[in-house]
Each structure stands twice: as structure tokens, then as C-alpha cells.
Structure 1
Amino acid sequence: MAAAGCAERVRDRELLGRMNFHGAGSSKALCLPFMVAGQQVGYVPQAVASCLQQYPAVFSMPRGDEAPTCVELSMQLVSYEPRTAAVQGVLKELRSQQALPCLKEWREEVMYVMPCFCDTPLFSMECAATPLLGVKCYGASLNGYTWRNGQMYMWLARRAPNKPTYPGLLDNLAAGGITSGLGVRETLVKECQEEACIPTSLATLAKAAGTISYTYEDAHGGIHAECRFVFDLELPEDFVPQVGDGEVQEFYLCSLEQVKEAIGSSDFKPNRAMVVLDFLIRHSYIQPDEEPHYAELVEGLHRAL
């Protein structure tokens, strides 16, 4: 057991290391700041910046002595609607050119773009394209748990094999991005109904439990800067989630020992494993006297975006 516990600790630290774009070894220094109305809202990888050079009426690239200093949304686009239309037009053209892999995941869902969650949105853009500009995205995730014979268990979902990202991996009971026009709890309730058939009367009992935040690079060089609003929901002992919209293929009821093992494995979607790690810390299933890297784990769950 001691050896297994040590292995879990190493894997948890490795997980948080992979989700830290601002740490050593990332491509952050090679990316260009993305500016809108004088405010930085993201990071643009070099390969994406090269594609955006085709559209100087929408994206400009002020130069320093030898190279561009940033990618800037045209100052001629002065409000939400024209910015949204212009950016979506560019993205649709790039999609038709099949120039960038993430655009194959186009969902016809849009997210607000703003410097911070409390700010007025500057424009909206297709969800699947957000890694191209490294803009901050927000979502809601649910830790669904129950008690049996005095022991806590957690419900986990396995993603459908046809999901465009992380197919077949373990996931939270319900989770999803906050799209334009929806609130945080509204998003959570919607995802609970759609993915796990949790009725509204039960989903609304979920308790807000804070946030986690992280930034990571995907295999195609996209940058994912994300903040997730975390909720905990104690489910009745006899409640069994059901597959809803097809984004999940199966649900499992797991002991917390099984959960601790799973989140350190390659079988769990990395950012959702962080949601569960946060749950285990908050509910004292990981203790500072037993985990020498406790402070490091907590810090790693709350990175500045």
C-alpha cells in the first residue's frame, strides 16, 4: 500500500505539471499575446499567427525590431457584434480550408471572450476554436457522490468512444463549458440533465465548492486556459445515473480508493481528474501530514490564467 500511495503522489504531481502552461518547458515564450481593445485576452501559437496573417482587416500584428510583438484584433472593430462577426468569419474560412485540426470539432456553440469572468464580453467565438487564440474558457463540473455502509463512493462517467476529444476516458459525473448567454448553475443543471439524466429537482441541490484553474497545450499546439466552477452533489443511495445525450457510454460507482488510483492514470481526462483531486483534498481524503507535496498539489489546482 505504501508503494501504491507513493506512485499516486508522483502521478498527481505529473498531472499538475502537464497542466501548467506557465511553468518551465512550455511554449509560452514562443506564443504571441492576443490583444483586444488594449487588453490581453489570450496567447496565440506561432503556427496560428501565421494563418491569421491572411486576414489583416481582422487581425493585425504590430512588429518590434525583428518580429511581431502580439496579435491584435483590429481597432476598427469597436464593439461586440462586429468583432464577433469578423472573428467567426475568419474561423469559418479556416475551417473550410481544413487548416487547423481543432476546427474539425466545430460544434456551433459559442463562448464569451473577456479578460476576466466578471468583465463585459468583448466578443464571442466558436467553442472548438478557442485553443487557437488561447482565450480563457469557463465550465462547470459535478462531483456526484453517495454513501453506502458508512463509506463514501463517487459516480464517474466514461466518455463515449465517438467524442472528438479524449474518447473513452473517465470523466466527472456531469460537466460542460459555459456557452454565451448561460449562467454557471444554469450550465450545471443543463449538463446534469443531458449527460446523466439527473432531474432538475436534484441537480439544483448541488453545492458550489469553488473553482480550479489551469492552462495546458494539446497535441496540436492549441492552448487551453480554463477555469472550472466545481459543485458537489450528495446523491440518494438508490440513485443510478442514466446515459442521456450520448456523450457518455457508461457510469461507474467507485470507492474513493479506486477514484484516487484512477485520477493518476492515463484512463482519466486530465482536467477532470483535477476536479476530483480537489474534491479529495477538500473532503480530507488527502491529508497534509500524509502527503508531503500537499501544498504543491493545492497550488497546482489554482493557477492564474
Structure 2
Amino acid sequence: MAAPGWSERVRELLRRMNSFHGTGAVIGASGNAGNSPGRFPWQRILKTGSSKALCLPFMVAGQQLYSVMPRFCDTPLFSMERAATPLLGIKRYGAHLNGYTWQNGQMCMWLARRALNKPTYPGLLDNLAAGGIAAELGVRETLMKECQEEACIPTSLTAQAKSVGTISYTYEGTHGGIYAECQFVFDLELPEEFVPQVGDGEVQEFYLWPLDKVKEAIGSSDFKPNCAMVALDFLIRHSYIEPDKEPHYVELIEGLHRTL
């Protein structure tokens, strides 16, 4: 059997990242199956084992507090340890940066490779800078912080980043838990001579790749899944992927923007 093509691999990525929305993926509080994304599988999660066994996959070092609120515009009800949020399906938010530049008239994108000691997705490709929005921090404030810490991008340069929208998805983790996430996306055109530097050790190295190589990576297992979605969104918005050439164009866009 022939290996699946790029479109099918990316569609499978989007299906995985939106698995909680699929028919039969949700169990209500009564334990009955349903397909409403507003219902939460309390019994299935609580029956997976003891509280200790349930929490272990989520308990990693360097945690932070996340605000809990029905919508991002709402006043936070309280704060919760980041590690606990998937156990209750709490909505989580982050800020991601697409850093790009031009070489010989060709658009290229900066990507990061995550450090091997990262507790999640070690060694996989990542966006140039990204991070979750902790309690009491704003979106751009988070972006500035992550750019400085992870890639040593000067604040004067990060301030030029343009807010270009969001991607959102909800999936069930391999160790249990529900991940309902919305990522605020920024684009930053970097000077051709700029080279990011490893900062806080969360990244092992950076690559400057032409968009055709970025596209191939999106359809591989070498990319952190939600970061692959951010890069896919970039390629679509910059017309590198077009509807007359990509038969699943609409499906790809829909998969990037699901209601939490």
C-alpha cells in the first residue's frame, strides 16, 4: 500500500487534534455516549484509576497557574495549576510566533527544535517562540516574554509582531484528560541578518527553512502537533497553499478553527 500523501497526513493530524468533537468521543455525566462538545466525560476520566495514577502524567516540573473563565473576555473565576487543567477540560490559551524572513526573494520560516529534556514532545519541531498564557499575564505580554526567554529576540523587535488571529482545537490526550486550547497567533518579519539564539534551554537549536520544507514537516511526525497547525495557518494565510491546488483546502481551514 502506498504511503499517504501530504494532504491525507495533515487531515489526520487535524482529526487527532479535534478528536473530542468527533461522534462518540464525548460521554456525559450520566455515562451515556453523546456527541455534544459541551458535555464532559466525568465518569470515564474519574474511572481511569486512583487519583495518584490519574495525576502523574500531568505533574511535571516548572508548572504555572492558569486563569479559569468561561470565555477569554470574562473575568477569571479563579486560578488553577496548569497540570490540572486537562483533568477538568479547562480552556487554555497561548501565544505563538511565526518568525519569517526573505532570502534571495524566497520566504523562509524560522523553526525551533525543542530540547530533549522537555517533559512534553521532546526533540520535536516548534514555532520560533510560544508559550501558555499564565494567570495575570496578557497575550502580547506573554509573547514578549517567550520571545526573549526562548529565542533571545529583543523586545524592540518583538513589538513589531502582528496579531493575525487564532487557532483552536480540543482533543483527548493519550494519557487521558481533555485539552481545549486556543492559540493567539502572531507573525513577525525578521531582518535577514537576524539569527535567534538559545535562551532558557527549552530549545536546542533553530532552523531557517524554505516554505516547501516547512510544508513537508507539517505533514510529518517531527512537528509538535499544535505548532504544526500554527505553521499550516501561516502557509494558508500567505497563499502558499491555495484552493485551486489543494482539494481539501476548506477542510484544512475548518480543522484549524473549531469552537471550544
Match of 2:183 among 228, 245, 267: 228
Counting only pairs closer than 5 Å after superposition, residues 124-273 of structure 1 correspond to structure 2 as 124-273=79-228
Q: How many Å separate the matches in 2 of 1:189 and 1:139? A: 12
1:105 alignment partner, SS class: coil
Q: How many Å separate the matches in 2 of 1:205 and 1:26? A: 44
Counting only pairs closer than 5 Å after superposition, residues 95-106 of structure 1 correspond to structure 2 as 97=52, 99-106=54-61
Percent sequence identity is 68
Match of 1:285 among 240, 245, 252: 240
Q: How many Å separate the matches in 2 of 1:224 and 1:193? A: 27
C-alpha distance after superposition, 1:170-216 (max 9, x if no partner): 00000000000000000000000000000100011000000000011
User: How far 1:299 moved relative to its partner?
Assistant: 0.8
Q: How many Å separate the matches in 2 of 1:183 and 1:174? A: 16
Match of 1:299 among 240, 254, 259: 254
User: How far 1:241 moved relative to its partner?
Assistant: 0.4
Q: TM-score, normalised by structure 1?
A: 0.78
Q: How many Å separate the matches in 2 of 1:294 and 1:31? A: 33
Q: How many Å separate the matches in 1 of 2:24 and 2:201? A: 35
Aligned length: 253
Q: How many Å separate the matches in 2 of 1:51 and 1:286? A: 42
Q: How many Å separate the matches in 2 of 1:299 and 1:108? A: 32
Aligned to 1:117: 72
Gap change, CA 1:122 and 1:50, over 3 Å in 2: farther
* Between 161-170 and 14-23, the greater mean CA deviation after superposition: 14-23
User: How far 1:21 moved relative to its partner?
Assistant: 2.9
Amino acid at match of 2:8: V
C-alpha distance after superposition, 1:30-60 (max 9, x if no partner): 2549xxxxxx9883543543489x9xxxxxx
Q: TM-score, normalised by structure 2?
A: 0.91
User: How far 1:7 moved relative to its partner?
Assistant: 1.3
User: How far 1:236 moved relative to its partner?
Assistant: 0.4
Q: 4+ residue stretches of structure 1 with deviation over 4 A?
A: none
Gap change, CA 1:50 and 1:98, over 3 Å in 2: closer
Q: How many Å separate the matches in 1 of 2:21 and 2:55? A: 26
Q: How many Å separate the matches in 2 of 1:145 and 1:188? A: 16
Q: How many Å separate the matches in 2 of 1:31 and 1:197? A: 45
* Between 18-27 and 131-140, the greater mean CA deviation after superposition: 18-27
Aligned to 2:33: none
Q: Does 1:43 align with 2:7?
A: no
Aligned to 2:6: 8
Radius of gyration: which is bigger? Answer: 1
User: How far 1:147 moved relative to its partner?
Assistant: 0.2
Q: How many Å separate the matches in 2 of 1:201 and 1:290? A: 38
User: How far 1:245 moved relative to its partner?
Assistant: 0.3
Asked if 1 retains the 8 angstrom alpha-carbon contact of 2:21 and 2:170, the reply is: no
Q: Does 1:19 align with 2:17?
A: yes
User: How far 1:217 moved relative to its partner?
Assistant: 1.4
Q: How many Å separate the matches in 2 of 1:108 and 1:42? A: 27
Q: How many Å separate the matches in 2 of 1:139 and 1:42? A: 23
Asked if 1 retains the 8 angstrom alpha-carbon contact of 2:153 and 2:196, the reply is: yes
2:66 alignment partner, SS class: strand
C-alpha distance after superposition, 1:88-136 (max 9, x if no partner): xxxxxx5xx4542233215341000111100111111011211111110
2:40 alignment partner, SS class: strand
Aligned to 2:34: none
**C-alpha RMSD of matched pairs (Å):** 2.3
Asked if 2 retains the 8 angstrom alpha-carbon contact of 1:157 and 1:172, the reply is: yes
Asked if 1 retains the 8 angstrom alpha-carbon contact of 2:151 and 2:198, the reply is: yes
Greater RCO (CA < 8 Å, at least 6 residues apart): 2
Asked if 2 retains the 8 angstrom alpha-carbon contact of 1:45 and 1:132, the reply is: no
